[in-house]
Structures are given as C-alpha cells and as structure tokens.
Amino acid sequence: MAETVRRDDTAAPETEFSTGILPCQALAACIASGEISAEQPIGPELIQPASLDLRLGTTAYRVRASFLPGAGNNVADKLAGFAMHSFSLIDGAVLEKGCVYIVPLLENLKLRSRTGAMANPKSSTGRLDIFTRVITDGAEEFDRVAAGYKGPLYAEISPRTFSVKVRTGSRLAQLRLRRGASTASDTAMRRLHERSPLIAGGEADIESGLALSVDLTGDPRTGIVGYRAKRHTGVVDVDNVGGYAIADFWEPITASGGHIILDPDDFYILASREAVAVPPDHAAEMRAYDTLVGEFRVHYAGFFDPGFGHDSAGGAGSRAVLEVRSHDVPFVLEHGQTVGRLIYERLTALPDRLYGAGLGSHYQAQGLKLSKHFR
C-alpha cells in the first residue's frame, strides 16, 4: 500500500508549478499518454515518488569499451562496430566484473519539447558497485536525456567489484523527468532549510548544494564505521533480496583516531555524519565532491526521493550511505570531512506518495547499511 502524503506545518503549500521534477502522478500520466512506453507493461511498482525504475531488455552486448554515440549517431550503429558478442538475458546471465556491457532497456521515450530527463543508478546498484549509466541516441553525455527526445534507452553496465546475475526486467537504473529548469539556488535551498530542515540539528553548510560529511565515529557497540568489499567473492543475483551473508562479501572496518586510510581502488561503504531530509515537495540528487580536495570520490551520484529522512514519512534520522573509492594513491579520510553535496530541486506538485516503509522502501531511517541483498 502506498504511503499517503501527510500535511503538516513543514509541508509546502499545495501549489502546482510549470517547471520542476515530475512527481509520481505526473509520471503515470506520461505513461498513459505514451510519452513513456515499454515493450512490457509498466506496472505501478516501477513508479517511485519522483522517478521511474528502468528495466533491462532481452539482450546484452559485451563491448570493447565504453562509448557515447555523439550527435546524429545511433547507439545501435555503434554497437555494430564495438560489440564483441551478444547473449540473451531472458533466463538470466552473469555480467563479469571488469567487463563493459550495453543493454537495450524495455522503456522508450517520446518526450514533449519542454521535458527532459536524467538518470542515475538505483541505490542498491551503487552499493553493489555496478557502474551503470544510461545512453540515448545522439547523446554527448551520459545519464542526460535531451528535452523532446524520442527514441530508445540503453544501459551501459560495468560491474566493478562483484560479478552479478541479471535478467530481463532487472532494475539497475532510474529516470527522473524534468520540465523546464528547476535546480534550486543556494538562496532557495537556505530558505527551504528554514521552512523544513534539510539536516537534523546544527547549521546547514549550503554552498553549491548541501554539504555532507563522513561519519567515522562508528557504532558505539562494535566500533564499525563501514565496510570494505572483498576482492574475490561469489556472484550476486541483483534480484535476490536478503540472500547473502555479509561476511562472504564484506569485511567491517573501524576507525583509528577518527580516520581511515582508503586503499587505492578498494570499494567502501560508509555513512554520512548528517541525518538528512528531503521535504515532500522536493527531490534531491547527491553529487560527488570536487576531487581537488583529495584523490577519493563518492563513486556514485544518487537520487533521494521526496520524503527520504522526513518526519512525515517516518524517516527521521536517515543517513546518506556513501560509496567511496580512492584513486591512484592511498588517502587518509578524516571524520567530518566533506565528501559530497546534495542538490535539491522542486517538484511540479506534491507527490501522491512519499519514500518510506509504506511504499516498501528499503533504506528509510537507515544508518550505515549495505544493499538490500545482504542479511
């Protein structure tokens, strides 16, 4: 059962806007009108409060290298030159770590002239270190769909840490539709924080987005501050929820003196120091912090749906989970160091439902938490 938006004094007025991120009811309308279509029915379980889950199609192509088609070019034509072989996903198949694959998605777009889109890996995809980006025909950048785009969608998939089993219908990426320009300015985000706090307690550091820092104090009972992925493990089936023991794939890490040393190219799961909240009338996206401050990087950007961490959706105290990797050299990561920034964008209208337990959301009210696959 979907979770109903609860009106309270922190909620925005019930106003509709001509620009902004489309909420779930508008996404449903796009499906009904044919702006979003698919080879298989698009069920309500695919529609999140402000995003749509995208599904893998029937065939995967192993390619020599990642690519962008470029203006005037089609992905299918590029595949003819770069594909090494293809195989069916209908009965499931393993994507090997370190390899690059292109998979046509089941969904297609026929967007209006003022409507564009952006894509991101789903939370569980990022926590499994599956590098996933969406490509369109004529694309000159990943994960961005030009306003008015009409055509197919493709996923570039490269498992980085674990080999993974996927199948037709598996969901690794999600799509947000945006009408017009809607990115909030720092001034607008400060006003939003005054109306509905974006972090619990303390001052919000808002400059080019809301700063998030890393928590390395650890669990007071165990001292665990995060997890580092093991290099040699079994295959993870992306559709097998709760099917794997943590110890088979991860080793816990503790902080000594409030810091940890990131080993080059190891993959870490950490948590933000701040408890964050996304008001019901906004959506947020986490962007990797500027690498000029160090050789580490929050590896995956991420969508935060309306209601994440918000009291009205039962999410008070939710932390952002951070997928972190250091490149080239070992790097000392200190407790409280800024590692990413959240950019908030207004919705065109309040969504009919919020991120939360009533929607079957796995990561509401989370602290340090691995993907839903691990029990």
Q: Quick one: residue 222, left, alpha or beta (phi over 0 = left, psi -120 to 50 = alpha)?
A: alpha
Task: Tell me: pLDDT of 187 over 70.
Answer: yes
Cα(295)–Cα(265) distance, rounded to whole angstroms? 11
Q: What is the mean pLDDT of residues 95-107?
A: 97
Which of 59-73, 206-220, 280-294, 316-330 shows the lowest per-residue confidence on average (mean pLDDT)?
Answer: 280-294
Domains, the chain, in order of start with CATH, read 20-179 (2.70.40.10), 186-359 (2.70.40.10)
**Stretch (H or E) spanning 80:** helix 75-82
Cα(247)–Cα(126) distance, rounded to whole angstroms? 19
Work out the mean pLDDT of the chain and round it to a whole number. Answer: 88
Rg (CA), the chain: 20
Task: Tell me: pLDDT of 7 over 50.
Answer: no
**Stretch (H or E) spanning 186:** helix 186-195
Nearest alpha carbon to residue 307 among 294, 297, 316, 299: 316
pLDDT band at 369 (very low <50, low <70, confident <90, very high): confident
- pLDDT, one tens digit per residue, over 123-153 is 999 999 999 999 999 999 999 999 999 999 9
Q: What is the mean pLDDT of residues 72-89?
A: 95
- What percent of the chain shows pLDDT beyond 90? 70
Of residues 314 and 353, more confidence is placed in 353
Residue 250: exposure state from Cβ atoms within 10 A (0-12, 13-18, ≥19): buried
pTM score over 0.85: yes
Q: Let me know: does 288 contact 338? Beta carbons within 8 Å.
A: no
Task: Tell me: pLDDT of 260 over 80.
Answer: yes
Q: Which residues contact 186 (CB under 8 A, 6 or more apart)?
A: 206, 207, 208, 209
Position 360 scores a pLDDT of 52
Question: Hey, which residues does 4 pair with through a beta bridge?
Answer: 353
Task: Tell me: pLDDT of 316 over 90.
Answer: no
pLDDT band at 286 (very low <50, low <70, confident <90, very high): confident
Task: Tell me: pLDDT of 296 over 80.
Answer: no
Cα(70)–Cα(142) distance, rounded to whole angstroms? 11
